[in-house]
Each structure stands twice: as C-alpha cells, then as structure tokens.
C-alpha cells in the first residue's frame, strides 16, 4: 500500500475523517488500549515555535507505544542548508513518520514527495490542517456534527482560515468569513470551496456570526508577521469577538480559538473565559485527534 500523508485537509476522505473521529472518541473515552506505534518513532521538525503541537504529538506517540524526536531547525543540518529532499530520504531510513512545522507549504510537499514514510503538516504559512481537523472534531463533540452547521471565521484570512475553507470544501458545511480588506484568505482555496458549498466573505463580523453555530478567530499577527503587528492592530479594529457579537450567534453556539490567544485583541477576556468558550477542550482534542491520525497513517 502506498504511504499516506496529511499535508492538507482534503488528503482525507469524508469516510476516513469519520474513521479518525470514531477512533479519537474511543481514545478520549479511555476504552482504547492498543499500541499501534510500538517501537515506532515520529520525527518532529520545527522551524517555528509551538506548545500544543509539539507536546500533543510527543505525548500522543508515547501513549500509542512509540516515541517522538523533537528536531529544531536550529540544531539539525536543515538549518545549515541541507536540502529537504536529502533530509527526507535520510529520516525515512530511521523513523516511521515525520511531522513538520515550517513556513513554506511547498517545503512540506517536497519533504512528503521524497520521504517514504507518512508526513504530517504541523502548520505552514498557508495551512494548519491538524488544528482544523481537531476543531471539526470539537464541533462534532459539542454540536453533534457538521451537517447543516454554520461556521463563522472572524479576522485574518490566515493558515487557519485557509484550512477552514478546505474543511468546508471536503465536508460541505456553510462557512462565513469576515476579514478586513487586504487580509482575505487564499483565493484559489476560497474559489474551490465556493464551487462545493456555501462560502461567504464579508467585511462585517455581524453578517458572518448571525445564527452561526461555531465562532472562530485567531491572532491578528501570525508567526513570522511580528513586524506587521502594529499595522495589523489598526487593520483589524472592529474584528474582535465580543459578547455582543456572540449574542447574535445561535444560542447554542460555541467559541473556538486554536491558541495562543491575545485577549483584548481578537477576543475579549469575557468571551474567552465565558460559558460558550470551548478553547481548552479544543486544545485537549489535539491529543486525541492526532493520536487517531497517527494510528491511521503510521499504525
């Protein structure tokens, strides 16, 4: 069987997503005791910071009977210019899977092309598929599924927004994005999602949130955009998720954020800590969903 990667949300079919979610739910409930990664190793390459991704993949590998190696680009030869295609072929001879967080999506694709083991995208400037897979699982847990649900995205058209477009493209739920001018998501991903399902882009957060079942946001300056933080603070004024905004969502709506969050910028303290917030369940679910994903790809 050819190896499978998870570089973008559409790498899994709807049936496979259901399979991963069923497994994640069994892992979360404590009824799953298998060790599909026994004697297996996951290499984790990071050229950007991480708390959740690093720890959840490391702990998840261990809980499935395997181990994970943290490889910072500061320490491995990649940081000194060793070609990705060489690293891919070398690591494939030692490890059973590679998770990578880096800037350029093309590098992750190149790694996957040359690796003979599964490659998992742990975030690029373009996409964050493990996070949105987890977020859809969180919707499934708290809202009973994604069918007929409306998801609102408020703020930057960043890697998270692009992955929500991909999720809407695969799963067919309605997605409404409110982004300021100049901060829209990737055009090709937007158009592809729009060809499949109801995806709206607006400048008005109220239009996106009205009646929505899940309200999502993220930081205004992502990793690598620190130099733009001041300009972005101005551009995103009016795109904060407040209690007033949550009040026009569906009464059962949940608030989600991939974290880390900047309270007082993209979300108020009140919403972040409020009764509709599921941010810590969402963070916990990274562990369960990625364990299921590793069992599926590497087990």
Q: How many binding residues for ligand NVA (CB under 6 A)? A: 10
Least separation in angstroms between CB 20 and ligand NVA: 20
DSSP symbol at 148: T
Which residues ranging from 245 to 264 are in contact with ligand CP (CB under 6 A)? Answer: 258-259
Q: Which stretch binds ligand NVA (CB under 6 A): 56-64, 214-222, 234-242, 284-292?
A: 214-222
If we measure between CA atoms, which residue out of 196, 193, 134, 127 comes closest to residue 165?
Answer: 193
Asked if 216 contacts 134 with a C-beta cutoff of 8 angstroms, the reply is: no
Find the binder of ligand NVA among 134, 163, 222, 285 (CB under 6 A).
Answer: 222
Residue 138 binds ligand CP (CB under 6 A): no
How far apart are alpha carbons 73 and 275 in whole angstroms?
Answer: 40
How far apart are alpha carbons 258 and 266 in whole angstroms?
Answer: 12
The distance from CA 94 to its chain's CA centroid, rounded to whole angstroms, is 27
286 included as an active-site residue: yes
Least separation in angstroms between CB 58 and ligand CP: 11
The entry of ligand NVA, ligand CP, none that residue 219 binds, CB within 5 to 8 Å by partner kind = ligand NVA
128 included as an active-site residue: yes
Q: Which stretch binds ligand NVA (CB under 6 A): 112-120, 186-194, 218-226, 237-245?
A: 218-226
258 included as an active-site residue: yes
Find the binder of ligand NVA among 218, 265, 266, 282 (CB under 6 A).
Answer: 218
25 φ, ψ (degrees, to nearest 5) = -65, -40
In sequence order, which residues have a C-beta less than 8 Å from that of residue 274 and are 6 or more positions away? 243, 246, 255
* SS3 call for 291: helix
Angle at 178 (CA atoms; ends 176, 184), nearest 5 degrees: 105
Catalytic residue numbers read 101, 128, 131, 218, 258, 286
Which residues lie near ligand NVA (CB under 6 A)?
123, 128, 158-160, 218-219, 222-223, 258
């Amino acid at each position: 069987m050819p190896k499978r990667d998870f570089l973008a949300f559409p790498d899994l079919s709807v049936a496979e997503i259901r399979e991963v979610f069923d497994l994640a739910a069994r892992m979360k409930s404590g009824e799953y005791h298998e060790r599909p990664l026994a004697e297996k190793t996951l290499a984790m390459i990071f050229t950007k910071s991480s708390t959740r991704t690093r720890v959840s993949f490391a702990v998840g590998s261990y809980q499935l009977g395997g181990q994970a190696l943290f490889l910072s680009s500061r320490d491995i030869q990649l940081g000194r210019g060793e070609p990705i295609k060489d690293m891919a072929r070398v690591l494939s001879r030692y490890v059973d899977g590679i998770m990578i967080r880096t800037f350029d999506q093309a590098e992750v694709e190149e790694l996957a092309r040359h690796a003979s083991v599964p490659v998992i995208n742990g975030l690029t400037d373009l996409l964050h598929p493990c996070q949105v897979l987890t977020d859809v699982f969180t919707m499934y847990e708290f809202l009973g599924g994604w069918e007929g649900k409306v998801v609102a995205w408020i703020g930057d058209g960043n890697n998270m927004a692009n992955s929500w477009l991909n999720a809407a493209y695969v799963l067919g739920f309605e997605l409404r994005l409110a982004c300021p001018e100049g901060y829209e998501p990737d055009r090709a991903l937007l158009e592809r999602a729009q060809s499949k399902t109801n995806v709206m882009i607006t400048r008005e957060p109220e239009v996106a949130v009205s009646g929505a079942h899940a309200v999502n946001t993220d930081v205004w300056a992502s990793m690598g955009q620190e130099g733009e933080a001041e300009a972005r603070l101005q551009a995103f004024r009016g795109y904060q998720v407040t209690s007033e905004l949550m009040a026009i969502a569906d009464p059962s709506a949940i608030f989600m954020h991939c974290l880390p969050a900047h309270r007082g910028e993209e979300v108020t303290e009140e919403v972040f800590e409020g009764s509709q917030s599921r941010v810590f369940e969402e963070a916990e679910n990274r562990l369960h969903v990625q364990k299921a994903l590793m069992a599926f790809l590497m087990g």
